Structure 1
Amino acid sequence: MCMCHESHHPDHELVPSRYATRIGEIDVLVISDGAIPIPANILGTNVDAAVRDAALRNRFLPDVIDWGLNVIVVRSGGCTILVDAGVGSEMPDATRAGRLAQRLEGAGIDPESVTDVVATHIHMDHIGGLLDQRLRSRMRPDLRIHVSHTDVEFFESPDFSHNTFGGIQDIIRTSARKFLDAYRSELRPFDKEYEVAPGVIVTRTGGHTPGHSVVRVASGGERLTFAGDALVPVGVECPEWQNAFDHEPEEATRVRVRLLKEAAATGELFMASHLSFPTLGRVAVDGKAFRYVPANWAY
């Protein structure tokens, strides 16, 4: 007779939500902020719908895809750096997202220990967590937030007239305004590139947003690139596909292909915000496109 009892844990705690790795002497912890459901038709906006749908079916992807919300915590040179901060409460209908505060706590990371935040760009699912009082009220008063000057300037008065952004322009605009108003004194805008801590460099790429940036971690001959939203689901296998969330779709494609070529050449660990947790893998050349090879989990 089965004596199993139904678990009393919330559903979101029945899946892994953090994964630790090391890049040389630098500690990196991947944390999931949850997931948001995104209609698949925002992908491949520049390709025939039948071709796109066939490619998605071939990968067993549904009409609505769960996009992971991945952030990382990096420890280097006495600094504890949070790269992106999830969505917080900025998308209230996304009930399976906005988990960062509780998952930092679960990982034993006190928000007050975070010395620096890097925002890859000023979209609500990357800065929203900083507006969540569960985090904001516990952040240190001398927190430094590194974000591209180009993104700060753009989101002061954003122009969304040339793109649909999946119909969420108002949320993007409102969240950006709240973020800029709340953290004006903590912002440390950079131009093209900035070394946040030894071996941790943020570099502006543009494309997804005018000031979109990536973070590279390097130590002891090992490398990891956190690519932010330079690529989204299916972006490795179909790098020419544009999506409705890119501010500059053609430039975003050039950025994506350049990053994938670089990752394939170096063999480095490569991850992005919206790939399936823990999104650590390597990129291989596959004909005219690329193939993503997930890293083996080290238990």
Structure 2
Amino acid sequence: MFSLETTANPIPPALDELVPSRYALKVGDIDVLVVSDGVLPLPTQMLGHNAEPAARAAWLEDMYLPQDAFDWALNVLVAQSGDRTILIDAGLGLDPDLQLPRAGQLIRRLEAAGIDLAAVTDVVITHMHMDHIGGLLVDGVKERLRPDLQIHVAASEVEFWKAPDFTHTNMPQGFPDALRATAKHFWAEYSRYVRTFEDEHEVAPGIIVRRTGGHTPGHSVVRLASRGEALTFAGDAVFAVGFDQPNWHNGFEHDPEESARVRIELLQELAGSGEMLVATHLPFPSIGRVAVDGDAFRWVPVFWDF
């Protein structure tokens, strides 16, 4: 178990940690910790491969971002509701073949936050891309997890990865093979822990996972709600460019048209409710709200609470 009191600074930060890597908040009675798994450098074309190059270049310039590649944030959520400790996604893990030394930091950062892997009762996987399941495949992690752990994944996601279709994606060379291999490895290691659901499932009091599809057929979002407050972890339904350009297609989307529909619908919901949003690839700690801005949307980051 954890609480805001025990995760503030239980262990002095390492000298190589020059920026914060976790942020704690409460959603009603639910304790929430956003943990950075690091960053993943990718070509900027991945933000909108259906966009005109000039339009994409203009957006990057307006955002003071480099034109060739930039760092995608990798955010993971830990939530405590009642006697359940829920890990929402598991980061990229540590694969030396990927040569991504600034990613795969989740396990050591959980340890630095004083969170024992044996205390985790549930894992929710928004989808089975390698940057959401890889942390569970780090050497020694499985042995530290409890034998009654439950891993919640949409049934359609499990079915998809039996024979995944990449025909509508636009990924750098090597990524499809790496994604297939990681999903296969995950299933081989953890299938007996997996509990599938069809459309919606309550993982713990106030914590509901809901399948949206789009990014992958079983892609899901997680809503945490307690005492009139709510936060949605959107997984890969929302990217930084998606507020200004919600119809741009991300290179990892297996159904780009459906992904855009899901993204717009979710952003409209959140703009209407004023509830908080966290997403995997928004800049850490990625906590904010959504406002309507003409035909698009506007990201409203929260002011940090110290």
TM-score grouping bracket, smaller chain normalisation: over 0.9
| AA partner of residue 299 (structure 2) | Y
| AA partner of residue 70 (structure 1) | N
| AA partner of residue 144 (structure 2) | R
Matched length: 291
In the superposition, the TM-score normalised over structure 2's length comes to: 0.93
Q: Percent identity?
A: 56
* Deviation string, structure 1 residues 132-155 (Cα, Å, up to 9, x no partner): 124222111111000010010010
Please list every run of 5 or more consecutive structure 1 residues that lacks an aligned counterpart in the other structure.
1-7
Alignment of structure 1 residues 256-275 onto 2, 5 Å: 256-275=263-282
* Deviation string, structure 1 residues 149-203 (Cα, Å, up to 9, x no partner): 0010010121223333333001100000000110010000110000000000000
Alignment of structure 1 residues 3-152 onto 2, 5 Å: 9-11=14-16, 13-62=17-66, 63-90=68-95, 92-152=98-158
CA contact (8 A) 1:67 1:233 kept: no
TM-align CA RMSD: 1.2
Q: Which residue of 2 aligns with 1:166?
A: 172
Please list every run of 5 or more consecutive structure 2 residues that lacks an aligned counterpart in the other structure.
1-12
Q: Which residue of 2 aligns with 1:4?
A: none
Counterpart selection for 1:228 from 235, 251, 271:
235
CA contact (8 A) 2:121 2:148 kept: yes
CA contact (8 A) 1:165 1:246 kept: no
CA contact (8 A) 2:168 2:255 kept: no
Counterpart selection for 1:239 from 243, 246, 256:
246
In the superposition, the TM-score normalised over structure 1's length comes to: 0.95
CA contact (8 A) 2:46 2:170 kept: no
- For residues 115 and 229 of structure 2, what CA distance do their matches in structure 1 show? 25
Q: Which residue of 2 aligns with 1:5?
A: none
Q: Report how far residue 10 of structure 1 moved.
A: 4.9
Counterpart selection for 1:253 from 243, 257, 260:
260
For residues 89 and 223 of structure 1, do their structure 2 counterparts lie closer, same or farther at Cα, with a shift above 3 Å needed? same
- For residues 10 and 171 of structure 1, what CA distance do their matches in structure 2 show? 32
- For residues 72 and 243 of structure 1, what CA distance do their matches in structure 2 show? 22
The answer to whether structure 1 residue 280 and structure 2 residue 287 are counterparts is yes
* Deviation string, structure 1 residues 190-218 (Cα, Å, up to 9, x no partner): 10000000000000000000100000000
